[in-house]
């Protein structure tokens, strides 16, 4: 069930039930800042160049699929809706499960029905595969992403599965928008037409969960790549290469803590920061 917004900052806040004073732009009190809880769901190997465009083609690297719980706001907010190893295996990708979505949330004292808001980074099938588990949640998606996913270009249509999201309770954002004090989405297109990264104010500054599939190497390339004058690398999978590059640059500029969507280093991390 799609509920369209008027795409004003106030509209988002009215929908989420925020008080007007929370939209004042006042600097976030670090004592009230938040943390991010990574919930790894499955893992598998990918070609390294899938994350870093035209670099290290043919090399295999470990990748992980996560959901991310934002700890601190009165609203129970999750980033992305999750996937399982079995769903990858059905598509011929031999990923293995780390834990189920239910078990990952249970470790935080939560169940799927407790989640109120899911901030969807993008609508590739593996980021919304388990969306129907969140029966009480509202899904925040960029309008550009939603419109494209309804009628994807044939070149990338296999990455989208409309039945996974068409019946969700959806609210559309239009560009950068503050969700609640200290949590903001940033339009970061290129990997997909309407990907959104999620910024969370923490005790150590702004942590940004990328809205595009990548690893830390996109932001901090290895020495042999930097030696060629390359300071950042676009994601290997993209609908617009130049926009994808610019989105990596934007996240690197605004973030104090960068959380790449598929980097395996967060599999063993309990809390960020």
Tens digits of residue pLDDT in 130-148: 999 999 999 999 999 999 9
* Alpha carbon distances (Å) from 143 to 13, 108, 189, 214, 242: 17, 31, 12, 22, 20
CB 271 within 8 A of CB 257: no
Tens digits of residue pLDDT in 33-71: 899 999 999 999 999 999 999 999 999 999 999 999 999
Residue 3 has pLDDT above 90, yes or no: no
> pLDDT grade, residue 21 (50/70/90)?
very low
CATH architecture of structural domain 9-15+33-268: 4-Layer Sandwich (3.60)
Determine if the pTM surpasses 0.85: yes
**In terms of DSSP H, where are the helices of the chain?**
9-16, 85-90, 101-106, 125-128, 143-150, 223-226, 241-254
3-state secondary structure at position 181: coil
């Amino acid at each position: 069930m799609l509920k369209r917004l008027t795409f004003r900052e106030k509209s988002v806040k009215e929908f989420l039930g925020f008080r007007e004073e929370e939209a004042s732009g006042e600097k976030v009190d670090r004592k009230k800042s938040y943390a991010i809880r990574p919930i790894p769901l499955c893992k598998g190997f990918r070609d390294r160049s899938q994350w870093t465009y035209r670099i290290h083609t043919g090399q295999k690297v470990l990748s992980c699929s996560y959901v991310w719980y934002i700890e601190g706001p009165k609203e129970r907010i999750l980033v992305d809706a999750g996937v399982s190893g079995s769903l990858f295996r059905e598509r011929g990708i031999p990923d293995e499960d780390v834990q189920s979505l239910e078990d990952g949330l249970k470790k935080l004292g939560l169940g799927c029905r407790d989640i109120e808001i899911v901030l969807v980074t993008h609508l590739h099938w593996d980021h919304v595969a388990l969306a129907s588990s969140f029966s009480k949640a509202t899904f925040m998606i960029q309008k550009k992403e939603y419109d494209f996913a309804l009628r994807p270009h044939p070149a990338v249509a296999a990455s989208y599965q409309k039945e996974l999201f068409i019946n969700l309770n959806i609210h559309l954002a239009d560009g950068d928008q503050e969700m609640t004090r200290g949590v903001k989405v940033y339009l970061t297109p290129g990997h997909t037409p309407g990907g959104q990264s999620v910024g969370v104010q923490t005790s150590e500054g702004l942590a940004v969960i990328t809205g595009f599939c990548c690893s830390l190497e996109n932001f901090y390339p290895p020495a042999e790549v930097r030696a060629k004058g390359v300071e950042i690398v676009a994601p290997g999978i993209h609908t617009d290469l130049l926009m994808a590059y610019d989105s990596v640059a934007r996240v690197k500029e605004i973030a104090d803590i960068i959380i790449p969507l598929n980097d395996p280093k967060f599999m063993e991390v309990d809390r960020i920061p």
